[in-house]
Amino acid sequence: MSGMNRRRITSKELAKLAGVSSATISRAFSPDSRIGSATRDRILAVAREHGYQPNAIARSLNNQRSRLVALVVNAIGNPCEAEEQQLLVHRLQARQLLPIILCCADHSDRLQLMRLASTYQVDHVVVFSDMVSMQDAVDIFHTTKPIIVSFEPLENEDVSSIRIDGSEAADEIIDKIVRDGKKRFAYLSGTNSSWIDKLRRKWFADALAKRGLSFEAQAFGDYSYDSGFKEAVLLLHRDKVDAIICGNDVMAIGARDAARRVLRKNTPDDIAIVGQDGIAMAAWDCNDLTTLSLDHVAFIDAVVELIERHDAEIEGPHSITLTCTARWGSTA
C-alpha cells in the first residue's frame, strides 16, 4: 500500500497469500472466466492490499497481444499533426491501448527506429509522417497487418488506409482568389518532396490548370514558421507573386508576417495567402487564416474505425476517403 516495497509482487506470491493457485489469481482478473465470486472478491481484496497488478509484459507474451500502438509522426510539437495526435491518443487510452510515439523528424535512422518499435509486437501501427515511405513501414511491420493512414494511393498492399481528398476545396479557394484578381501563384512546399506534399500541391495545381493558370514559382520550406517567413520574402520580392499557397498553416502564418513586415503588403488586398490543415491557431484573431481544412474529428474517427475493424479481424485491406473543406479567413 505505502510506497515502501520496491519489488512488485507476482501472481504466484499473491496466490500463496490468498491460499489459491496462481491460475485462480489470473482468473480473478479476467472478466469472463469461471471463478467463484467469493473467491474473486477475496483475491481482489488481497491484491489491492499488496498493490498487485498483473504484469502486462508477461500477459502480452502469452496473449500474443501487447495492446501497444505505434504512432509514426514527424514531430510532436508541430501543431499541424498535434491536434490529431492528441485526439487519437485519447481515443486509444479510452480503449486501454497505449501509444508509443516514434518521432521521425531529425532522426538519423527512421527505419531502425521503426524496427525497434516492431520488436515490441505492437498491435497496430498508424503512420502520420510523410518522411517514411509506406513500403518501408509495410515491410518492417509485416507481422502487424494493420498499417495505416496514407495520402498516397497504396495499391495492391494488404494495409488499410485513409485517403484524403482536398481537390474540391482547393478549387473553391482558387476560384475565390482568381475572382479577386490575383494572377501570379506560388506554392510553398513543406518538404522537399514527400508524397503528401506532392498530392496537396496537385490539388491546387489542377484547380489552376482548370483556369488556364499554373504556379509561377515554387519554394521549399520545412513546415516551420521561420521557413515560411524566409521563403515568402523571396517569393514576393524576387518572383513578384501575389498569391502563396502554403503546405501548412504554420508556414502560412510566417508568410503573412513576412508580407506584412518586410514587404509592407496586406492580405487579402495586396496578396493572398492560404494555409493547409485547419489547425485551431489558424482561427485565432491575430491569424484569421484562409485554409484548406480537414475535419480532425472525422479523421481520427476513421483511424479508430480501421483499428476496430482490424481488431475484429475483419479480413482484407480497408480504405476510407475523407474530403477537405475550405475555411475562410481574412488572408484570401
Partner DNA sequence: ATGCATTGTGCACACGATTACACAAACGGT
Partner DNA sequence: ACCGTTTGTGTAATCGTGTGCACAATGCAT
Kindly state the smallest distance separating residue 81's Cβ from a copy of itself, in Å: 9
Three-class SS of residue 146?
Answer: coil
Q: Which amino acid is at 87?
A: L
Three-class SS of residue 295?
Answer: coil
Q: Is 25 in the site for DNA (CB under 7 A)?
A: yes
Using CB under 7 A, pick the residue from 5, 16, 36, 158 that binds DNA. 36
Kindly state the smallest distance separating residue 312's Cβ from DNA, in Å: 17
Cβ distance to DNA smaller for residue 8 or 237: 8
Q: In angstroms, rounded to a whole number, what is the distance separating the alpha carbons of residues 261 and 271?
A: 13
Using CB under 8 A, pick the residue from 17, 44, 100, 111 that binds a copy of itself. 100
Q: In angstroms, rounded to a whole number, what is the distance separating the alpha carbons of residues 281 and 296?
A: 14
**Contact stretch for DNA (CB under 7 A) within 60-68, 169-177, 301-309, 315-323:** 60-68
Q: Is 287 in the site for a copy of itself (CB under 8 A)?
A: yes
C-alpha 186: how far from chain center: 27
Q: In angstroms, rounded to a whole number, what is the distance separating the alpha carbons of residues 226 and 132?
A: 24
Q: Is 52 in the site for DNA (CB under 7 A)?
A: yes
**Contact stretch for a copy of itself (CB under 8 A) within 10-18, 111-119, 235-243, 318-326:** 111-119
Which residues are within 8 A (CB) of 117 and not within 5 positions of it... i.e. 6 or more apart?
70, 100, 102, 125
Cβ distance to DNA smaller for residue 32 or 155: 32
* SS3 letters across 230-279: HHHHHHHHCCCCCEEEECCHHHHHHHHHHHHHCCCCCCCCCCEEEEEECC
Q: What are phi and psi of 142, to 5 degrees?
A: -65, -20
Cβ distance to a copy of itself smaller for residue 113 or 243: 113
Helices (H), the chain: 11-18, 22-29, 37-50, 56-63, 79-94, 110-118, 134-140, 167-179, 195-209, 225-237, 249-261, 296-311
Kindly state the smallest distance separating residue 210's Cβ from a copy of itself, in Å: 33
- Footprint of a copy of itself on residues 165-224 (CB under 8 A)? none
Using CB under 8 A, pick the residue from 118, 129, 191, 276 that binds a copy of itself. 118
Q: What are the grid coordinates assigned to 15, written together? A: 496466490
Q: Is 29 in the site for DNA (CB under 7 A)?
A: yes
Q: Is 317 in the site for a copy of itself (CB under 8 A)?
A: no
Which residues are within 8 A (CB) of 310 and not within 5 positions of it... i.e. 6 or more apart?
124, 145, 146, 160
Using CB under 7 A, pick the residue from 1, 4, 6, 34 that binds DNA. 34
Residue ranges that bind a copy of itself, judged by CB under 8 A? 2-8, 51, 53-58, 60-61, 66, 68, 75-77, 79, 82-83, 85-86, 89-90, 93, 96, 98-103, 106-107, 113, 115-121, 138-139, 142-143, 145, 157-158, 225, 229, 253-254, 256-258, 260-261, 280-281, 284-287
Binding site for DNA (CB under 7 A): 8, 10-12, 19-27, 29-30, 33-39, 52-55, 58-59, 61-64
